[in-house]
Structure 1
Amino acid sequence: MGKTRKQVFLFQLLSFWVLMTGIKVVQSSSSHHHNGHHRRLHLLGPTKLFVFGDSYADTGNNPKSEKPWHEPYGITFPGKPAGRWSDGRVLTDYIGSLIGIKSPIPYRRRKFGAKQRHGMNFAYGGTGVFDTLSLNPNMTTQIDYFQQLIHDNGVYTKLDLDSSIALVSLAGNDYSTYFARNGTEEGLPDLVRSVVKQLALNLKRIHETGVKIVVVTALQPVGCLPYLTASSSFQRCNESRNAAVKFHNHLLHQAVEKLNNESTVAAYKILDLYSAFMSVFERQKGHPESLKFDNPLKPCCIGIGVSYSCGSIDESKVKKYTICNNTETAFFWDLFHPTQEGWNVVLRSALQSSLHSLYS
């Protein structure tokens, strides 16, 4: 990394801390001219990351019978299937890197020792704030696990929580479950209100454990996920689904603002995945030469025929999927999840957007 790029990265890292974690500023003084004082500022970032949510943040909690533990998942990082719903790193890994710590160990793979010093990941793929089609624990149960570690097992102390940040991912499984159970467009607004209300309660509960900063993701443009764009040969987003997403995000912003007004500090932050995803798609339309993605709405790993999806094999163990030649030219990995490079671009875009709002 060249000097200029390194300086930009360090500035972005510092700004991310300021924006997302409310960096503690400690003042110290030393003698200076005319008996004055020269103040030095020390920046203390978080040392632990606690993660709750779904497959966008899961780094290995799902049972090993599920897809992210099988080929071709993990082919970019770590080079083999490791429980991530992507070809490589996911949201949690990048957030950990941005705040300067290693990705926390998954709760299901925990070993009480040195590895948990970076926090813990309670996110399970396929889950929501309510029960979904997945049999994995919903967000309420994930928070239960966290509280048990604090109160029953004493794994994390008040000092640990004082220097921690929580990441909460909600990628829309409550809504996909609703439609899978024959829910109607007319009934969707009521569900959105219920989901955001419960999500707000979850955020408050996490903060009340002692975690200082709680970062929640705004819902990404679900209408642009490949499972919905496939009907247009991956050319167009489903605008009605994106309208529902905008309603969700509007209510989420109101809920977070209310939580912050009730808190002595601005403890709750939103990571705007909607704008970050859309910036990629819109740039592709207006300036296709500026992006490395061939078609950001088309996944790299695609099932052969309507009966198969990424990672599927038949009774004879024959692969029933295809993979693109270069994962770095694909934004989406499968029908729902970004590639490692997709997440990389998303986080950079979200960071730039946050910096703009911070300094404009």
Structure 2
Amino acid sequence: MELKMISTHLCCLFILLISISLGGYYQYQVQASSSASSPKQLFVFGDSYADTGNLRKSLAKSWKDPYGTTFPGKPSGRFSDGRVLSDYIAHSLGFRSPFPYTWMQLAGSDKLRAGMNFAYGGSGVFDTYANLPNMTTQIDFFENLIETSVYTKHDIHSSLVLVCLSGNDYGAYISKGGNIEDIVKFIPSVIVQLVANLRHISRLGASKVVVTTLPPLGCLPNITRPSSYKKCNATDNMIADYHNLLLQQAVAGLNNMLKSTSYFVMDFYRSFTAVLDSRQDSLGDLKFQSLLKPCCIGVSSEYSCGSVDDNGKKLYTVCSDPRSAFFWDDVHPTEAGWRAVYALFRSSLQEFLRSS
């Protein structure tokens, strides 16, 4: 069956469904905001693109070498050599990265003032892998902290909320036997659940919510490996493009319903593509020598970044300078990659925060 034809029919179905739903290593060079309209806290929901350490050390490779070599100099639970998206957003707003929810009992009240990060690597809007808290559960954690007065309605209203979804629902769907035609039919249900989550966050008092689109999935190293990291996969990119189209329509509908600009779409597809096409960041001082090939790579296809044998021998290699590569491992950008991606959004995000 032609994917284009499937997309056309399902787009009409989605519009009906959604209408119902609507009823360190180098210095930061992204300037921190000094605007009076800047949020006082950041609350984060989502997956590994925003997770700063919620996965337990026994479960996640992000707590093992060589993750964290750029920042903070050792593994910290981030799926990168250093900082990730949520770190850059927090810094640009002028405060420290919000503390991971899993470890909140170890945080004093001063560390909770910047907000909290509920994102878990590998999670989605639905259940994905190994009993990870899906996005609904993450929001329930948040709601419980409001009910127990850890945070107040005023805190939430004056905050920025980041909702990051990068494709784990689709990866889990494929791993359970789904094919391309099945995924195209599955996409609207993912968007409907995501919209339900966005509305739940707003009901808790959030006035400014950023939600990310999918990156070009066909350009991730785990997809480009068969072409020796030379060519993106058009079919996977089409899946991401269709998801993003429905998400953009949904967010426009939410803003129209609320008669405000409460939701902002951070377009990963456009920003990843722009950086990969230009081979550099928009600030002009980072140039990527390696685009689709990751900096940290398994010695063969059966191993990944961080793999070791029973004797602790490394089964991966790491490039000499992570700043020269856009991707760190099979699916995640380097700190430099995230810096380049976020630089494209900084001004539009500040404009969004100033809007009523």
Is the pair's TM-score, using the shorter chain for normalization, greater than 0.5?
yes
Q: Does 2:65 correspond to 1:71?
A: yes
Structure 2 unpaired stretches of 5+: 1-27
CA RMSD of aligned residues (A): 2.2
Separation in 2, partners of 1:354, 1:218: 15
Separation in 2, partners of 1:52, 1:353: 21
Match of 1:224 in 2: 219
Q: Does 2:135 correspond to 1:139?
A: yes
What is the CA-CA distance between 1:282 and the residue it aligns to? 1.6
TM-superposition CA deviations, 1:28-51 (whole Å, max 9, x none): xxxxxxxxxxxxxxx231001000
Match of 1:311 in 2: 306
Check conservation: 2:213, 2:244, Cα contact below 8 A.
Answer: yes
Aligned pairs for 1:209-248 (under 5 A) are 209-248=204-243
Separation in 1, partners of 2:323, 2:286: 11
Match of 2:94 in 1: 100
Query: Which one of 159, 168, 174 corresponds to residue 164 of structure 1?
Result: 159
Structure ranking higher in strand proportion:
1
Q: Which residue identity lines up with residue 194 of structure 2 in the other structure? A: L
TM-superposition CA deviations, 1:119-175 (whole Å, max 9, x none): 000000000000112432010100000000001x11111221121110000010001
Separation in 1, partners of 2:335, 2:228: 23
Q: Is the partner of 1:234 in helix, strand or coil?
A: coil
Which structure has more relative contact order (CA 8 Å, sep 6+)? It is 2
Q: Does 2:187 correspond to 1:192?
A: yes
Q: Which has the larger radius of gyration?
A: 1
Task: Identify the range of structure 1 (77-86 vs 43-52) with the bigger mean alpha-carbon deviation.
Answer: 43-52
Q: Which residue identity lines up with residue 90 of structure 1 in the other structure? A: V
Q: Which residue identity lines up with residue 117 of structure 2 in the other structure? A: N
Percent identity of paired positions between Structure 1 and Structure 2: 50
Task: Identify the range of structure 1 (309-318 vs 107-116) with the bigger mean alpha-carbon deviation.
Answer: 107-116
Structure 1 unpaired stretches of 5+: 18-42
Q: Which residue identity lines up with residue 116 of structure 2 in the other structure? A: M
Check conservation: 1:58, 1:84, Cα contact below 8 A.
Answer: yes
Which stretches of structure 1, 4 residues or more, deviate above 4 A after TM superposition? Answer: 352-358
Q: Does 2:52 correspond to 1:59?
A: yes
Separation in 1, partners of 2:93, 2:265: 16
Check conservation: 1:284, 1:290, Cα contact below 8 A.
Answer: no
Match of 1:22 in 2: none
Q: How many residues in Structure 1 have an aligned counterpart in Structure 2? A: 320
Match of 2:144 in 1: 148
Query: Which one of 112, 115, 121 corresponds to residue 119 of structure 1?
Result: 115
Separation in 2, partners of 1:351, 1:238: 29
Aligned pairs for 1:25-36 (under 5 A) are none
Task: Identify the range of structure 1 (45-54 vs 183-192) with the bigger mean alpha-carbon deviation.
Answer: 183-192
Separation in 2, partners of 1:355, 1:164: 13
Check conservation: 1:310, 1:334, Cα contact below 8 A.
Answer: yes
Check conservation: 1:299, 1:333, Cα contact below 8 A.
Answer: yes
Match of 1:256 in 2: 251
Gap change, CA 1:292 and 1:45, over 3 Å in 2:
same
What is the CA-CA distance between 1:105 and the residue it aligns to? 0.1
Task: Identify the range of structure 1 (59-68 vs 257-266) with the bigger mean alpha-carbon deviation.
Answer: 257-266
Task: Identify the range of structure 1 (329-338 vs 256-265) with the bigger mean alpha-carbon deviation.
Answer: 256-265
What is the CA-CA distance between 1:356 and the residue it aligns to? 11
Check conservation: 1:167, 1:214, Cα contact below 8 A.
Answer: yes
Q: Which residue identity lines up with residue 142 of structure 1 in the other structure? A: Q
Match of 2:14 in 1: none
Check conservation: 2:31, 2:92, Cα contact below 8 A.
Answer: no
What is the CA-CA distance between 1:98 and the residue it aligns to? 1.3
Gap change, CA 1:345 and 1:248, over 3 Å in 2:
same
Match of 1:89 in 2: 83
Check conservation: 2:48, 2:120, Cα contact below 8 A.
Answer: yes
TM-superposition CA deviations, 1:233-263 (whole Å, max 9, x none): 0001011110111110100011001111111
Q: Is the partner of 2:317 in helix, strand or coil?
A: strand
Task: Identify the range of structure 1 (107-116 vs 317-326) with the bigger mean alpha-carbon deviation.
Answer: 107-116
Check conservation: 1:75, 1:87, Cα contact below 8 A.
Answer: yes
Q: Is the partner of 2:287 in helix, strand or coil?
A: coil
Q: TM-score, structure 2 length as denominator?
A: 0.85
Separation in 2, partners of 1:282, 1:165: 30
Q: Which residue identity lines up with residue 49 of structure 2 in the other structure? A: Y
Separation in 2, partners of 1:332, 1:258: 34
What is the CA-CA distance between 1:357 and the residue it aligns to? 11
Match of 1:48 in 2: 41
What is the CA-CA distance between 1:109 and the residue it aligns to? 0.8
What is the CA-CA distance between 1:264 and the residue it aligns to? 4.0
